[in-house]
């Protein structure tokens, strides 16, 4: 199947190096300590952070660090076919683990000993790149909760179809079976914290595709920064002195 | 550019939207003149003068000799110290703070209280005054009777004593601390409550008590006259070792006395709703402002439940903008 037309347009009308439209909103869950909604095109994810709070299961308490937990779930109505998945299926367990490890790497857990941080992410609409969207939403929610972090983590995916590197794959391109690289970076420190790939990609092309994903991550980081700064300003001026 | 006002999920009509926007813009322009461009987000670098020497405080970290923020907030500088004051976050205790908490567990010689901190706080049996007002060693009998003082889910007011090896300790060594009854507990973000000289307030005209806990828990309840227990205790102090379980022995007469009048209950709700409106708008919560909003709602003859509607929310925003700009002119 043709994923990039001769005119250089993709299935949804984007250019190969174009990202979908992103939108973020802070403070979607009123009872949570921090929360956010993140959208990338038709992919929509909600994240809520609770904590740092007392560890629920005493045996899991760590005396020098905070315990970070993450739960990923997909709403039944999120994908095309309304599937009733059991709660702990393999895919969501794996993504929970990935998100937990990525976020744990950037949270300064040693500042919050003997406490627990819970991150809940739910996919409201799935259209490819849910993993990236979840990580971006979780970053925003953690920043909103006032949890100290080394840096913001942002994530974006890239692929390689019809011998063209493509940025930010949607569901159609994702299910084409081509290579799909999901990348998570710390933009300020310029470090990679997450790198996952489906299928195979020649080694000389990997660098190109990764570079493209890095550019995507940086663009998202700039947007997230803007949103956070505006939110902080708003909180400060509304409070008054 | 139109963005939903954070946390306000009210159905606003077009005119209300415009009015709210205008009031908020006025607030913004007022604060811009005070401190401009001091907000940072995670991983922003903070400009400092390295020659003078820098002390890095909370919310900052070192990255290749640069000072970077680790939380979103406002940069504060005190001499050499540079720190970031986080806005929305959990409560950070300081010794001497007045806090309100909810009992989550009755344990050995201690209660565990939820106070919106990263851990539960500890209130030792030995660090609180006994209800009978006698100073003595706490015995095993006292320990068994701990549930007569506070049970699970009770709301308790106390003072931060400090950090011990096993966490944050509280104390309640005065008449004004202790169990809170007949009122409402409200939870707001702790950054909205400022530390002040006075956190216990008595609103005489309404007959209600207001306690602004530093941890963002706010108590609104019926006014209780602080009575002098020492005198009374001499009379009915038959056996100081045993605390009377008071539950079953409440006579009808006492029930009559503990009845809160409808009038007072209405004022409690009114004050609580005033705080809710302030919290959704994200305005600072002080006695003066709460009183102003209660008066505003009374002067408009507004029903209590209408105080949570969109029209009143817009009115409060406009009034706050007016108040702040007039304060500014006075200076």
**Nearest chain B Cα distance for residue A224, angstroms:** 10
What confidence category does residue A158 fall into, taking pLDDT thresholds of 50, 70 and 90?
very high
Chain A, nearest residue to B89 by Cα:
A146
* Residue to test with chain A: of B29, B87, B111, most A Cβ within 10 A: B87
Q: Answer whether B119 sits within 8 Å of A114, measured CB to CB.
A: yes
B243 pLDDT exceeds 50? no
Flag whether residue B233 sits within 8 Å of chain A, measured between CB atoms: no
Query: pLDDT tens, B165-221?
Result: 888 999 999 888 999 999 999 999 999 999 999 999 999 999 999 999 999 999 999
Q: Does a structural domain hold residue A4?
A: no
Question: Does the pLDDT value for residue B231 go beyond 70?
Answer: no
The CATH number covering residue A77 comes to 3.30.230.70
Average pLDDT over residues B118-122: 94
Dump pLDDT digits (tens) for B46-70.
Answer: 988 888 888 999 999 999 889 999 9
B111 CB neighbours in chain A (<8 A) are none
How does the average pLDDT of chain B come out, rounded? 86
Whole-angstrom Cα distance, residue A233 to residue B320? 18
Looking at the complex, report in whole angstroms how far the Cα of residue B269 sits from the nearest Cα belonging to chain A. Answer: 21
B15 pLDDT above the threshold of 60: yes
> Alpha-carbon distance B331 to B30, whole Å?
13
Q: Is the pLDDT at B239 greater than 70, yes or no? A: no
Closest in A189, A230, A241 to B34, CB measured: A241
> Does B93 reach chain A within 8 Å, measured CB to CB?
no
Read off the pLDDT of each residue in B229-243 and give the average, rounded to a whole number.
45
Rounded Cα distance, B21 and B318, in Å: 10
Q: Is the pLDDT of residue B244 over 60?
A: no
Assigned domain for A216 exists? yes
- CA separation for the pair A149, B185 (Å, rounded): 32
pLDDT score at B8: 64
- Domain extent, residue A233, equals 22-239
Position A55 in a domain: yes
Residue range A36-76, pLDDT digits in tens: 999 999 999 999 999 899 999 999 999 999 999 999 999 98
Residue A146 has its nearest CB partner, among B30, B31, B89, at B89
Confidence of residue B258 (pLDDT cuts 50, 70, 90): confident
In this structure, is residue A228 part of a structural domain? yes
Q: Which of B198, B199, B197 is nearest to B216 (CA)?
A: B199
For residue A165, pLDDT over 90 is answered with: yes
Residue A15 included in any domain:
no
Q: Count the domains in chain A.
A: 1
**Average pLDDT, integer, range B225-238:** 50
pLDDT at residue B235 greater than cutoff 50: no
Is A148 within the bounds of a domain? Answer: yes
Indicate if the pLDDT at residue B320 is higher than 80: yes
pLDDT for B171 = 95
Higher pLDDT, B254 or A110: A110
**Domains, chain B, ranges and CATH?**
38-86 (2.40.50.100), 89-179 (2.40.50.140), 181-226+259-331 (no CATH)
Confidence of residue B137 (pLDDT cuts 50, 70, 90): confident
pLDDT in tens, B260-292: 889 999 999 999 999 999 999 999 999 999 999
Q: Which residue has the tokens 């913001």?
A: A152
How many Å apart are CA B270 and CA B321, to the nearest integer?
Answer: 22
The ipTM is 0.90
Query: Does residue A12 fall inside a structural domain?
Result: no
Mean pLDDT of chain A: 93
pLDDT in tens, A114-153: 999 999 999 999 999 999 999 999 999 999 999 999 999 9
Size of interface A-B (CB pairs under 8 A): 128
Interface probe for A, chosen from B88, B103, B166, B188 (most Cβ of A below 10 Å), is B88
Closest residue in A to B9 (Cα) is A28
């Amino acid at each position: 199947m043709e994923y990039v037309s001769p005119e250089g347009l993709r299935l949804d009308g984007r250019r190969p190096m174009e990202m979908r439209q992103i939108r973020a909103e802070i403070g979607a869950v009123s009872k949570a300590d921090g929360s956010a909604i993140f959208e990338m095109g038709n992919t929509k994810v909600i994240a809520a952070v609770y904590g740092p709070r007392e560890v629920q299961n005493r045996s899991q308490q760590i005396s020098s660090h905070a315990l970070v937990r993450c739960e990923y779930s997909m709403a039944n109505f999120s994908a095309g076919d309304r599937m009733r998945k059991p709660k702990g299926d393999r895919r969501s367990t794996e993504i929970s683990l990935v998100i937990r490890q990525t976020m744990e790497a950037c949270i300064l857990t040693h500042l919050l000993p003997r406490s627990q941080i819970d991150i809940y992410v739910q996919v409201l609409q799935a259209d490819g790149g849910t993993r990236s969207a979840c990580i971006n939403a979780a970053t925003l929610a953690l920043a909103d909760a006032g949890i100290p972090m080394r840096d913001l983590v942002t994530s974006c995916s890239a692929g390689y179809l019809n011998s063209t590197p493509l940025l930010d794959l949607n569901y159609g391109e994702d299910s084409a079976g081509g290579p799909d690289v999901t990348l998570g970076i710390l933009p300020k420190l310029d470090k990679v914290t997450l790198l996952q790939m489906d299928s195979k990609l020649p080694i000389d092309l990997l660098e190109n595709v990764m570079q493209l994903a890095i550019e995507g991550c940086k663009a998202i980081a700039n947007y997230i920064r803007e949103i956070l700064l505006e939110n902080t300003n708003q909180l400060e001026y509304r409070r008054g002195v | 550019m139109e963005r939903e006002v954070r946390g306000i999920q009210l159905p606003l009509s077009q005119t209300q939207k415009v009015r709210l926007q205008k009031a908020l813009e006025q607030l913004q322009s007022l604060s811009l003149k005070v401190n401009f461009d001091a907000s940072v987000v995670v991983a922003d670098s903070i400009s400092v003068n390295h020659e003078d020497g820098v002390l890095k405080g909370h919310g900052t970290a070192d990255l290749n000799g640069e000072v970077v923020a680790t939380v979103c907030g406002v940069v504060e500088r005190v001499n050499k110290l540079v720190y970031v004051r986080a806005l929305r976050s959990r409560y950070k205790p300081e010794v001497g703070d007045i806090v309100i908490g909810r009992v989550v567990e009755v344990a050995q010689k201690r209660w565990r209280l939820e106070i919106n901190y990263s851990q539960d706080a500890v209130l030792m049996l030995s660090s609180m005054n006994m209800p009978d007002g006698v100073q003595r060693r706490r015995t095993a009998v006292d320990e068994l009777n701990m549930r007569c003082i506070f049970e699970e889910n009770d709301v308790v007011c106390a003072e931060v004593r400090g950090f011990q090896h096993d966490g944050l300790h509280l104390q309640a060594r005065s008449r004004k601390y202790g169990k809170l009854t007949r009122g409402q507990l409200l939870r707001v973000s702790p950054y909205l409550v400022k530390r002040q000289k006075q956190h216990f307030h008595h609103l005489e005209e309404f007959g209600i008590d207001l306690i602004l806990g530093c941890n963002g828990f706010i108590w609104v309840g019926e006014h209780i006259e602080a009575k002098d227990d020492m005198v009374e205790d001499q009379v009915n102090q038959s056996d100081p070792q045993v605390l009377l379980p008071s539950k079953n022995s409440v006579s009808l007469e006492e029930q009559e006395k503990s009845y809160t009048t409808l009038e007072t209950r209405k004022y409690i709700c009114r004050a609580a709703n005033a705080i809710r409106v302030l919290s959704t708008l994200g305005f600072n919560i002080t006695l003066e402002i709460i009183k102003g909003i209660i008066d505003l709602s009374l002067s408009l003859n507004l029903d209590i439940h209408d105080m949570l509607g969109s029209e009143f929310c817009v009115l409060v925003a406009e009034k706050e903008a007016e108040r702040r700009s007039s304060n500014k002119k006075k200076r």
